Amino acid sequence: MKLLDPIDKLPCGVEASKKSPVSGHRGISLVPGHRKLNKVIYPYDDFLKLYNWKCNDSKYSDFLTCGLVNCGNSCFANVVLQCLSYTRPLVAYLLGKDHYRQCAIRHEDWCFLCELQSHIQRAFDSVHPFAPTNILSHLPNIGGNLGFGRQEDAHEFMRFAIDKMQSACLDEFGGEKVVDHSTQETTVIQHIFGGRLQSQVQCTACGMVSNRYENMMDLTVEIHGDAESLEKCLDQFTAIEWLDGDNKYKCDGCNDYVKARKHLTVHQAPNILTITLKRFQSGRFGKLNKKVTFPTKLDLTPYMSTTDGTDQYDLYAVVVHLDMLNASFFGHYICYIKHYRGRWLKLDDCKGMAVDEEEVHAQGAYMLLYS
């Protein structure tokens, strides 16, 4: 982990580092321009401490991830829980028990973030595999269409889990409908996973430029065509699109439908970047098993709308879907996790073993987690 440089105050009232692994985030301002925040739920300088948390306690630094028992088609949840258990700022936050002390719903209802905190603590304390029953038995509470005992999609579960953690942070202040959008962008979950996409459209007739911004918690990229590397997939994701013919753009400057240039880029890079390779397709079997290489160190600079060149990432988790005959409707999930001391571990439900980095890169990755 790099040391942080002095902190600068941003106009929006949130703090970020000039040159650090988190500087590309620029304080998580996920709306156009800088608005004055009514309230800061979790100060960004406190988040920076979580981001740079180090496992100095030998109990944690020597910890080899505890396996998780498959309770019947629960491998999709097991791999996501293992990835979250090695997401450094999230673990630092939960081991500090910050949420549990402040949770507004745990006495009245079931809270996923409280349960994840208990799960991570148990994983660090256990020497034998255990079943994450308290989480699996509440799958419908995490995502309405998730069901216990059914084969589910790991990426979908990850999205639901992040959304549920964000909601838990907002419930203390009245929930998503009560908290204004600028304040929602200051939760610890938003600081960890949140970023911002920019969609820019430029009229070819009058040159008028329109920018629209969208919050993102992960990126899903296509792997079709000749995209055989993650970088090529990101090239496709950010490729210029021409709006013409039946798909012309209604320009406010021209007050007419015109040909226009559309460009999608990452405007603010998240501190934890989750990339999903879109392997599941429509069709009889519906899965693309083509080889897509991915780097240990990812430079997001070419895919940014603005950058100071510090948007550099390190790979720390890989989720793999194993199948037969390219089938998407059944299979098995495993994951590879980078230990806090730099070693790679292969986790297959309750089984775990140390592996070389070459084995990690030989996998047909489905989800990639970078910090």
Q: For residue 18, name the pLDDT band (cuts at 50, 70, 90).
A: very low
The answer to whether residue 30 scores a pLDDT higher than 50 is no
- Mean residue pLDDT across the chain: 84
How far apart CA 103 and CA 172 sit, in angstroms, is 6
Helix (H) or strand (E) holding 21: none
How far apart CA 83 and CA 67 sit, in angstroms, is 12
Task: Please answer whether residues 29 and 268 qualify as being in contact, where contact means their C-beta atoms are separated by less than 8 angstroms.
Answer: yes
Kindly report the CATH class assigned to 44-370.
Answer: alpha beta
pLDDT of residue 324: 74
pLDDT of residue 127: 83
Active-site positions? 75, 332
Entry pTM? 0.85
Query: Residue 80's closest CA among 167, 190, 155?
Result: 155
Residue predicted with more confidence, 108 or 102: 102
What's the rounded mean pLDDT across residues 130-143? 94
Q: For residue 282, name the pLDDT band (cuts at 50, 70, 90).
A: low
Query: Residue 216's closest CA among 305, 104, 338, 309?
Result: 305
What's the rounded mean pLDDT across residues 101-128? 83
How far apart CA 51 and CA 48 sit, in angstroms, is 5
pLDDT in tens, 140-198: 999 988 888 888 999 999 999 999 999 998 988 888 889 888 899 999 999 999 999 99
DSSP state of 369: E
Q: Strand runs (DSSP E) across the chain, as ranges? A: 7-9, 15-17, 195-203, 209-216, 219-221, 241-243, 249-251, 256-258, 260-268, 273-277, 297-299, 312-322, 332-338, 344-348, 351-355, 365-370
Residue predicted with more confidence, 103 or 311: 311
**Exposed (0-12), middle (13-18) or buried (19+): which is 275, by Cβ within 10 Å?**
buried
pLDDT of residue 206: 94
pLDDT of residue 323: 86
Residues of 208-237 as b/e, b for ≥16 C-beta within 10 angstroms? eeeeebebbbbbebebeeebeebebbbeeb
The answer to whether residue 270 scores a pLDDT higher than 70 is yes
Written as six digits, the tokens of 41 are: 């739920």
The answer to whether residue 135 scores a pLDDT higher than 90 is yes
Q: For residue 55, name the pLDDT band (cuts at 50, 70, 90).
A: low
SS (H, E, C) 316-363: EEEEEEECCCCECCCCEEEEEEECCCCCEEEEECCEEEEECHHHHHCC
What's the rounded mean pLDDT across residues 86-101? 85
Residues 6+ apart with CB under 8 A from 263: 199, 200, 201, 202, 238, 240, 241
How far apart CA 88 and CA 71 sit, in angstroms, is 27
The ranges assigned to domains in the chain are 44-370
How far apart CA 167 and CA 155 sit, in angstroms, is 18
Measured distance between the N- and C-terminal CA atoms of the chain, rounded to whole angstroms? 10
Q: For residue 102, name the pLDDT band (cuts at 50, 70, 90).
A: confident
pLDDT in tens, 238-261: 999 999 999 999 999 999 999 999
The answer to whether residue 94 scores a pLDDT higher than 80 is yes
Torsion on CA atoms 265, 270, 271, 276, rounded to nearest 10: -90
Task: Please answer whether residues 370 and 315 qualify as being in contact, where contact means their C-beta atoms are separated by less than 8 angstroms.
Answer: yes
Q: For residue 300, name the pLDDT band (cuts at 50, 70, 90).
A: very high
